[in-house]
Amino acid sequence: MKSLFAVILSLLVLVSPSPAQTVPDYDDVLKRMSDQQLIECLRDKPATCPIPDQDRDLAWIAGTLGQRRHPDPLISAYMTADQYQRYYLVRALSMINKPKVTEFMRSIAFENLPEGQDNDDVFFPLDYLARHCDQRALARLNRPVNFDKSFPMGCIYFAPTVAAFGRCNYRAAAPNLVLALNAACVNIIDAAEKGLQKFFPHACKQAHSIEELQRCYERLLEDHPNPK
């Protein structure tokens, strides 16, 4: 790996480290690359990407682009990218909170939606809009199929969506938030509980376990199927 990074740095026209210096880590190499170089790596352009294919971590590259908050080149690249490449470009865009990105996400979020659970190809635009309290996206992600046996994209990525139901006051999600109390991951359970506490203030404080909490909220929903 040491020689690999030396090659990468020379391609980036950087000064080679002296023998006493340590070789830059992967994150440092990505930070030294331009937006366009990173995008070319996502788009699998070996002639213009200085990182060999076997060493590319596309999720990490997408994260680096997202942290830079430059949506224009990402949106431009999306227009001519294939489905696989678009996934990582949208993943990077989902980290950028700007009106231009919100407008772009609305233009693509509801295309080619699956009949079943929302998969990783469609999740990031929907989740981005849901976190911005878009009612259509909230309704889409609130479908029972997304709360059946597992959650789209797993615990880490779906927890902010569950939190958005409460933060956006999307009360139609209350039954699914009760189901989410039985999730296998604490972050989703916490997000669901906070939402239910908002919809039913001061309720179920006496519960001593998740099972008791679920039963308490289930009884409340039977009496108040449409919480105000």
Taking residue 144's Cβ as centre, other Cβ atoms within 10 Å add up to 10
Q: Which domain holds residue 57?
A: 1-93
**Residue 125 and residue 173: Cα distance in Å, rounded?**
19
Whether residue 127 is found in the same domain as residue 196: yes
Whether residue 19 is found in the same domain as residue 56: yes
- Which pLDDT does position 46 carry in this prediction? 73
**Residue 147 and residue 217: Cα distance in Å, rounded?**
17
Whether residue 3 is found in the same domain as residue 113: no
Whether residue 118 is found in the same domain as residue 41: no
Structural domain count of the chain: 2
Spatial CB neighbours of 32, under 8 Å, sequence gap ≥ 6: 9, 12, 14, 24
pTM of structure: 0.83
100 within domain boundaries: no
Alpha helices in 32-141 (DSSP H): 35-42, 58-68, 71-78, 83-93, 99-108, 120-131, 135-141
9 within domain boundaries: yes
User: 14 phi and psi, to 5 degrees?
Assistant: -105, 160
Whether residue 126 is found in the same domain as residue 85: no
- Which pLDDT does position 8 carry in this prediction? 46
Output the CA–CA distances (angstroms, integers) from residue 205 to 39, 120, 200, 213, 214, in the order listed.
50, 36, 11, 8, 12
Retrieve residue 197's tokens. Answer: 């506490």
- Which pLDDT does position 227 carry in this prediction? 65
Per-residue pLDDT of the chain (228 residues; tens, 9 = 90+): 444 444 444 444 333 333 444 445 888 999 999 999 999 999 887 778 989 888 899 999 999 999 999 999 999 999 999 999 999 999 999 999 999 999 999 999 999 899 999 988 899 999 999 999 999 999 999 999 999 768 887 888 899 999 999 999 999 999 999 999 999 889 999 999 999 999 999 999 999 999 999 999 999 999 877 666
- Which pLDDT does position 120 carry in this prediction? 87
101 within domain boundaries: no
- Which pLDDT does position 19 carry in this prediction? 40
- Which pLDDT does position 54 carry in this prediction? 86
Retrieve residue 25's tokens. Answer: 């880590």
**Residue 135 and residue 97: Cα distance in Å, rounded?**
18
Whether residue 64 is found in the same domain as residue 148: no
Last residue of a domain, one of 58, 93, 128: 93
